[in-house]
Structure 1
Amino acid sequence: MRSCLRAVTPLVASFAMTACTIFPTPEAPRVMDLGSVDPVQRLETRHSRTLRVDTPLASEPVNGTRILTKPTPHEFQMYGNARWRDIAPVMVRDHLIDTLRQSQGFANVVTDTSAASTDLTLISELSAFQAEKIEGKTQVVIELHVEVLDNRSRKSLCVRNSRREEPAASSELNDVVEAFANTAHQLAEETLLWVHRCLEEN
């Protein structure tokens, strides 16, 4: 009996190893990005103050790497086999920083991971970062609440609610990602001009 088991065991092991190879290896998910920031026109006035840009606060599922779509007002879905390169708040922060730096309108612009001392902080909350069906058409929606904080006095200098909607050519992933990139760029440029006006008034 034992000899039979010894003979069967290698066969079972061999079959198990063979069975593991009959299923195709899952394809790695596509990793998507918002792309490089388009060239930003330099601002004529350069403020002497330094600015820290905090990563926006966000709750689930916005605070994640999945590419979200909202077919109804009460349901989130996700594009399969694809994700963002990082969580959405980090990508929005990076896009803002690149735009603010390119404008050369500030003495320095740093991220919240920097140990540098700064005069001001741009804090924000990201409440929407998804594709939605609006009047039967696919649109990308980004909604951001932003605030400029004086680091010394802890006084809020300016507050703004922004909501940008950009139509996508279709509901296909590539078209939706392109609409995300366009929306993020427009929102970053609007935020840049708004911050600059805020500092001129304060």
Structure 2
Amino acid sequence: MKNLRRLSVFALVTALSGCAGLTSLNSAATPTDLYLLTPKSTFDPSLPRLRQQIVVAEPTATAAVSTDRIAVQPSPFEVEYLPRARWVDRAPLIIQALLIESYENSGRVDAVGRSAIGLSADYIIVTDVREFQARVPDGAPEDSPLQAQVRLNIKIVYTELDRIIASNSFERTVTTASDDTKDVVAAFDQALGSTMRNAVEWSIRKMHEDAQSRPRDF
């Protein structure tokens, strides 16, 4: 796909082409490309070691993002999706898995997992996916490249008191090399990687600081 601004036209043509049975047959015969994203593996070596256990909860997101389809915003009030391309899972589940792996890759967290495995956690990482789409820059010319935008709001919950000890938002926007799907996915990967690195480093420091401030059992 060379021009994402033709997505609306593509959807209209598909809706009007032939009877419903023929459209379904053509759709089933068209292969869908699956895309994945990568965890962050490089972190500040000065990060403190965290002995407490962490659970990364499944992130929340709007219905437009909580899907395996790759979202594109041609304008602030429209949401479309790349044709014949999907993430390997729903976006929130991908982000949850990559955050867990990124914490592990930091080498500074003794135990981290997801709530589904029943891990007894000292801290819970609660994530709200505020932005996770490619968008056309406001006021940009017709042939301008897209921007992959990722914004995560992170809250750290201390489970013993069921209290939020820190909250912060992390955002990165990366311009795509072209409108080709692979270039759009590469921009998503770079934006998410940068956002996760900052979120992981910030949260480790905040949890370590909080743990150090609490009385210890001897």
Smaller-chain TM-score range? 0.7 to 0.9
The reply to whether residue 168 of structure 1 matches residue 176 of structure 2 is yes
Question: Take 2:51 and 2:184, find their aligned partners in 1: how far apart are those partners?
Answer: 39
Offset of residue 172 of structure 1: 1.4
Match among 91, 95, 106 for residue 92 of structure 1: 95
1:50 is aligned to 53
Offset of residue 43 of structure 1: 5.2
Q: Which amino acid aligns with 2:176?
A: A
Offset of residue 119 of structure 1: 0.5
Match among 156, 166, 183 for residue 164 of structure 2: 156
Q: Is the 8 A contact 1:168 1:175 kept in 2?
A: yes
Question: Take 2:187 and 2:102, find their aligned partners in 1: how far apart are those partners?
Answer: 18
- Structure 2: runs of 5 or more not aligned: 1-21, 211-218
1:8 is aligned to none
Question: Take 1:73 and 1:125, find their aligned partners in 2: how far apart are those partners?
Answer: 20
Higher strand proportion, which one?
Answer: 1
Which residues of 2 match residues 1-202 of structure 1 at below 5 A? 26-34=29-37, 36-41=38-43, 44-134=47-137, 135=140, 136-202=144-210
Question: Take 1:95 and 1:185, find their aligned partners in 2: how far apart are those partners?
Answer: 9
- Structure 1: runs of 5 or more not aligned: 1-19
Q: Please, which moves more after superposition, 84-93 or 192-201?
A: 192-201
Q: TM-score, normalised by structure 1?
A: 0.83
Q: Is the 8 A contact 1:95 1:185 kept in 2?
A: no
Q: Which amino acid aligns with 2:42?
A: V
Q: Please, which moves more after superposition, 180-189 or 133-142?
A: 133-142
Q: Is the 8 A contact 1:95 1:184 kept in 2?
A: no
Q: Which amino acid aligns with 1:125?
A: D
Structure 1 residue ranges (4+ consecutive) displaced by more than 2 angstroms after TM superposition: 36-45
Question: Take 1:197 and 1:125, find their aligned partners in 2: how far apart are those partners?
Answer: 20
Question: Take 2:206 and 2:193, find their aligned partners in 1: how far apart are those partners?
Answer: 20
Partner deviation per Cα, 1:143-180 (whole Å, 9 max, x = no partner) = 11110000111111100112211111012111000011
